[in-house]
Chain A
């Protein structure tokens, strides 16, 4: 058994498999990580922070406990990934809203016939 190789801080320990390679987080550990991520996200929402990578200092000061838990329960590559994904998901949602305003229709709805394109 060895300390989790990824990340520098004192994280939970990663298990080694029978051939010596590190086992990936299992279902329970994933769930713990996602839970920590979600409470971190909701804290960011409360403080109106979108990009916690850009506003790292502010995020750390506003959500010290959530930030600690997040980093403790998830591998650092996951932490970075989730922080980036939050921004990407927000941008995606904005694009969707913008398109919706422009009366764009979902291509899937057109394909299954629930929406019809009418040429004006």
Chain B
């Protein structure tokens, strides 16, 4: 009988133990220093052995492995398709679906990340030489080693830039929580005439302490906007204190640790959505990522918190 063989097969190394056990009294069996599980597993086998030991010394199982007729019937009806088999089937299936979906998403991200690498591909980003909010030089080389999230804007921006920068601060926090210190947030002004390092510094400290704020000469910023394919509209000659707005592209550019462009996030992405995509890209990166605090020097040198309305005059 198929079922009887199955039961016997379940406890292949059991006979010797159980035989010794069956000779012991019930109480001593309980106190014996033997693992509890084999006993439970082979209850049927051992009890049947006790009754049939004389007749069938080599068999540990009886044909009546079931306690009740109902149990036997239900086993008979369901055949080899037990609930265990069903659960195993479903779990394996689900695991494979999850695995393949994840793998598909990973390959899709790899495709996006690799799209702009190599020859003959559209090139976004490239070498630049600008200055940060402390007036120190900051080049494209300084941006390498970590992922960088680059945003172009200007400090006198009425509504979109501050909203987007708040969103960017949210992304920074989520990515940082997920992957550590792997992301360098960079703000590049599209309005070099008004946005001096000190103005950028004042502006950015309200958003996130990790920000690198870049500015430079009119020509340097114009070139920077060109390599990032950003529309640049600052008038070349502005008088001090002149009031004007600047049109600029409002995308977040994700750059990988080699300085290559990955993809952009725009107004339609929430902070959570963009942070999720970035986190996945960062986790895909196989080479080491610099986890150091690039902004450490600056966060230490932040202007002491005083009255925010107090003008700082040198």
The answer to whether A30 and B162 touch across the interface, beta carbons within 8 angstroms, is yes
Interface string of A13-47 (1 = CB under 8 A from B): 01111111111111110100110000000000000
A75 interface residue (CB < 8 Å to B)? yes
Q: B194's contact among A22, A28, A108, by CB below 8 Å, is which?
A: A22
By size class, the interface of chain B is: 20 to 34
Interface residues of B in 242-267 (CB under 8 A from A): 242-245
Measured in the bound complex, the distance between the Cα atoms of B308 and A81 in whole Å is 27
Residues of A within 8 A of B (CB-CB), count: 32
Nearest neighbor of B162 in chain A, beta-carbon distance: A30
Measured in the bound complex, the distance between the Cα atoms of B194 and A17 in whole Å is 11
Interface residues of A in 67-94 (CB under 8 A from B): 74-78, 81-82
Q: A17's contact among B158, B162, B206, B312, by CB below 8 Å, is which?
A: B312
Query: Quick check: which of A1-9, A53-61, A97-105 contacts chain B, the rest being far away?
Result: A1-9
**Chain B residues within 8 Å of A77, by CB:** 156, 158, 243-245
The answer to whether A23 and B202 touch across the interface, beta carbons within 8 angstroms, is yes
**Chain A residues within 8 Å of B195, by CB:** 21
**Chain A residues within 8 Å of B245, by CB:** 77-78, 81
Q: A6-B242, A15-B311 are in contact. Are A22 and B206 (CB under 8 A)?
A: no
Q: A21's contact among B154, B198, B206, by CB below 8 Å, is which?
A: B198
Q: B156's contact among A15, A19, A75, by CB below 8 Å, is which?
A: A75
Interface string of B233-245 (1 = CB under 8 A from A): 0000000111111
Q: A16-B313, A17-B198, A78-B158 are in contact. Are A26 and B206 (CB under 8 A)?
A: yes
Point out residues on B near A: beta carbons under 8 Å: 154-159, 162, 194-199, 201-203, 206, 240-245, 268, 308-309, 311-314
Point out residues on A near B: beta carbons under 8 Å: 1-2, 4-7, 14-28, 30, 33-34, 74-78, 81-82, 108
Can you name 23 A-B pairs with beta carbons within 8 Å?
A6-B241, A6-B242, A6-B243, A16-B313, A17-B198, A17-B199, A18-B313, A19-B196, A19-B199, A21-B194, A21-B198, A23-B155, A23-B199, A24-B156, A24-B157, A24-B202, A24-B203, A27-B206, A28-B308, A77-B156, A77-B245, A78-B158, A82-B159
